[in-house]
Amino acid sequence: WLGLPLFFLAMFLLFQFIFTAGKPLQDGMAWALELFRTEALEPLLISLPSWLNGLLLDGIYNGIGTVAAFVPIIVLFFLVMSMVEDSGYLSRAAFLMDTLMAKMGLDGRGFVMVLMGFGCNVPALMGTRVMRSRPMRLLTMLVIPLSLCSARLQVFLFMIAALFVASQAAYIMFALYMVSFFTIFLTAILFKHQYKSTEPFILELPPYRFPTPRQIWLRGWQEVKHFLKRASKFIVIGVVLVWVLTHYPTDVAPASAATIAGQIGQIFAPVLDPIGIDTQLAIALIFGFVAKEIVVGSLAVIYGLQGDALSHQIAMNIDWVQGMSFMLFTLIYTPCLSTIATMKSESKSSLFMWLSIVWSLALAWVISFIFYQGARALGF
């Protein structure tokens, strides 16, 4: 019975290590990016028209730079997780979880897919092909998008750094992972009767071994490359679009309610106000529907800031309760368009795809509402 508590303790200690070791690396990267902007880019681009200067510096560079500052922690996360996976420990964790997962209509393989989803939901969804039972495969596919993927991790690293002291970071991150597990378990329990399966679970346990540095690097680097490829594909287009929407019409204040983006945010205000999400955060969430990698970049563009200046501005605009509500919503609602497309192709059902989208949005709103209104009722 000690197996599961020890597993969660090990995960917490890993997060503590990643935050402790990664924070100086993140700060160093942010300092270098800010120095490059002030010493190289600003003098180089000063002669450009103001709108083009703003697009390149406040739009593209701020957006990409804010995301790039978190790459060292993302790299460290993947290296540590690849070491744990190659050691043989995760296979035993899946075996330990089989009894619990069976009560929810899943099995140990489903837990393995969920853990894969912590890197990226797309390959985890494709990995369900090993399941011969279609009902179990569909149920597993329904819960995988609730895994806290690396793109969401980047959003949380930024918000936690902006709103909480360093000593609280690992606890907040661990709490978000626990909420991720809770939503996975809740979803499986609620839908298990619609997707019943009796397929037996067979898992080969590899021997414990200490992976070589080369193995750790190769496995971790594959994940990092995948993250960077996705980020580079979406972020540039995303931040340019955000800059345009937050700066037009040109005769109003940037990112104000009178801009196109502000008007879009106002449309969703009646739904998002009860969970403490303001117009700026709403705009970031809307673009996050395309890819979560865009969320932090969007905030950098909306405020026209990056690094510590952006963190300080966020901390001035919202409190920790609003920030936590925002993170809970980001954690649970639809991960990205790539996940949606993969789910449709793997399930071969548009109805199932829409079920996943609607369920994640509804669950995200309800959990954020309970947290936000509960925290306010308690005086926070």
Rounded CA gap, 189 and 195, in Å? 10
Q: What is the pLDDT of residue 201?
A: 57
Q: What is the pLDDT of residue 231?
A: 66
Q: What is the pLDDT of residue 315?
A: 94
Rounded CA gap, 292 and 330, in Å? 8
Q: What is the pLDDT of residue 230?
A: 66
Torsion angle, alpha carbons of 240, 266, 339, 11, to 10: 100
Q: What is the pLDDT of residue 162?
A: 92
Q: What is the pLDDT of residue 338?
A: 81
The phi and psi torsions of 305 (rounded to 5 degrees) equal -135, 165
Which candidate, 318, 330, 321, places its Cα nearest to that of 363?
330
Q: What is the pLDDT of residue 30?
A: 82
Rounded CA gap, 185 and 176, in Å? 14
Amino acid at the residue 237: I
Contacts of 9 (CB under 8 A, 6+ apart): none
Instruction: Give me the residue spans of the domains in the chain.
Output: 3-199+213-377
Contact 293, 156 (CB under 8 A): no
The phi and psi torsions of 70 (rounded to 5 degrees) equal -95, 0
Q: pTM to 2 decimals?
A: 0.81
Rounded CA gap, 364 and 166, in Å? 26
Rounded CA gap, 13 and 173, in Å? 11
Rounded CA gap, 43 and 48, in Å? 10
**Residues with pLDDT less than 70, the chain:** 1, 198-206, 227, 230-233
Asked whether the CA dihedral 242, 244, 248, 250 is positive or negative, the reply is: positive
The tens digit of pLDDT for each residue in 156-172 reads 989 999 999 888 988 99
Which candidate, 180, 15, 179, places its Cα nearest to that of 114?
180
Amino acid at the residue 30: A
CA atoms within 13 A on the CB side of 98: 13
Rounded CA gap, 187 and 131, in Å? 19
Output the CA angle 357-272-246, nearest 5 degrees. Answer: 95
Give Cα separations from 33 to 40, 41, 74, 229 (angstroms): 10, 10, 17, 20
